[in-house]
Amino acid sequence: MRRWFRYLSLFLHVFCLFACESAAQTADVLNTMCDTQSALPAGQIYRMDAVPGEAEYADEELLAVLYGNGILPPEFDVINDFTIRLCGFAEPYELAVFQCVSQRDAYDVAQMCLRRAERLQIRCRETEYAELANGAQVRIVGKYVLMAVCDDPIAAVDAGGKAAK
């Protein structure tokens, strides 16, 4: 009986170690990324956990316009959490953090972000923001996907990558 109890105790201890593993919050990772930028224009933050009526709520229509061509991309089915910071319409500054179900899913979400960056590059091609859009960075860190379109996107994704670990 004692031996059985010891095995059960060991199993529960190991289970708790894995089940209670702490994950970085996407909002915290995004804040870390924002802190690397000296002068981000005014913007709006959108969170997956916001409810309709809150300023930070991102409805499917907004996400479909940003990341699909008017249709919500299927990659949103494998996203557990996200926080996105957008600037004004004319300014393509954008920082985003997506926490995916798995590392494999993170690859698909990164492809979605790369398509978004490509659309920004096309939209900004002959504007003062062309260089900014062309410097967009997308990085996978475990189950996280980080996207940065800003003055120093490498610093943003580097810092975000450290915060996501």
Which pLDDT tens digit goes with each residue over 80-124? Answer: 999 999 997 678 999 999 999 999 999 999 999 999 999 999 999
Strands in 144-149's sheet, in edge-to-edge order, are: 43-47, 79-87, 94-100, 144-149, 137-141
Residue 12 forms part of a structural domain: no
Q: Nearest Cα to 85, choosing from 146, 7, 131?
A: 146
Number of domains in the chain: 1
Q: Nearest Cα to 162, choosing from 137, 135, 138, 144?
A: 144
70: helix, strand or coil = coil
**Which pLDDT value is given to residue 109?**
98
Residue 10 forms part of a structural domain: no
Q: How far is CA 87 from the centre of its chain?
A: 16
- Cα separation, 137 vs 104, whole angstroms: 19
**Which pLDDT value is given to residue 5?**
37
Domain range spanning residue 73?
23-164
**Which pLDDT value is given to residue 23?**
61
pLDDT tops 50 at residue 52: yes
Q: Which of 12-16, 41-45, 154-158 has the lowest mean pLDDT?
A: 12-16
**Which pLDDT value is given to residue 89?**
67
Residue 16 forms part of a structural domain: no
Q: What backbone phi and psi angles, to 5 degrees, belong to 58?
A: -110, 110
- Determine the average pLDDT of the residues in 156-164: 97
pLDDT tops 90 at residue 66: yes
Residue 53 forms part of a structural domain: yes
**Which pLDDT value is given to residue 24?**
77
Q: What's the pLDDT band for 72 if we cut at 50, 70, 90?
A: very high
Q: What is the mean pLDDT of the chain?
A: 88
The string of pLDDT tens digits covering residues 12-29 is: 333 333 333 446 799 999
Q: What's the pLDDT band for 159 if we cut at 50, 70, 90?
A: very high
Residue 4 forms part of a structural domain: no
Residue 57 forms part of a structural domain: yes
Residue 18 forms part of a structural domain: no
Residue 83 forms part of a structural domain: yes
